[in-house]
Structure 1
């Protein structure tokens, strides 16, 4: 039940962040907004750890691994994903990002020697087919012009980067490093990396003090980063990066369910069938003793 709760937290929170991100777009460059989000989240976790006296010391080697986790999972992947969204439909981005289910299995086998579960592989493939069906209207409009093709490559690069971040997180979990300590340092390193890139690109580091921007930033930092990444990284340690990655198939669907209520999204029969496939794949992946 503990893993089920962690799974639900990850899916529901990340599924709801899509609407919050809309309020971040505007006067502040995306790279800076993401850096603000990571820095605020890191500050909150550090404050909690210091007050609870749980800020455990780490070796330089572990700091290096956490730096890589932060670079890949909390910042670097966004550097690829955000530019890609300018030229690709959000549905296609969601489908490409969902391939992390397969990438985590492959990278887990290569870098951590984890066995590839047949049920997880079958469930992941079924879920991926379901995602294609859910977003089929947007996929049918894909134009493989130069900009779109480059954006597609960027999207795959961002997904691969996030998958590597999952592997570093799994490695840190195998070393029994505290999840919140890893997340705090990782988010700090990720935020500093993004601020550094912004400065190199000459991007102004600003803050929009409008209520909608500040409120969405707080939601993304507290729930989207602190809570959801705590749940997700803990889940990686509990059930492995391959099964935890199935959340990447579910939270875009949750985002569509929210869009149905607040934005009038219209479901098709193919979309409903795809949603059922995603749920079926999830059952195969998460059932006890999947092997």
Structure 2
């Protein structure tokens, strides 16, 4: 026989559902209140932006369209330069980040004080945006490709070192302990136990960082660090909007092709 719920059980069930609904409503209300308070504090009216959108479309249509593709041959080297920035910046920082990641991980560095110092250093690098790095380096080295490359390496190093360290920490210690118990040296544990398990995460984070750096390489040109970005900024400043639109379209196509290629490569490797 089916046991019907008692009135007490029904009331408890109702009270629990009502409590959950109240928590959900309270949470949504708090989020909305924070959003409204933020707009009010910043003195930003979202309806003003919506009202100005037709004017933006009109300005775009009158000044940017149609795009001018006459100088394609002169822009292709800049596209290649932007891609090479990302390639060199990503893979230089990937090998440096592997070294720092090993120093940051509890699995590979038992010295707590050294781990803390390395983490502070990497946090310093990671929390400075790539555009800030580029702006600072321009004052030191002047406008040029070296600035863009160094800015990418420094910014990517901070991101990858932490990502690598967290991936190494997630590797189970059982296999490593078995190697240590069998008398394996530190290097043997590293090369035969940890690194083979870490390679998929290393590839995944590195390819993901490469995608980010393709976009960052273009943005770096805005501060005089070379690549296609500097020509986009130059054309906009000289009111050559038709050429600027063509460069923006080239940039979008380059980013989409990179994402597609990296995604296929990641699936094939991993």
TM-score by length of structure 1 reads 0.26
Larger RCO of the pair (alpha carbons < 8 Å, separation 6+)? 1
Structure with more helix by fraction: 2
Larger radius of gyration: 2
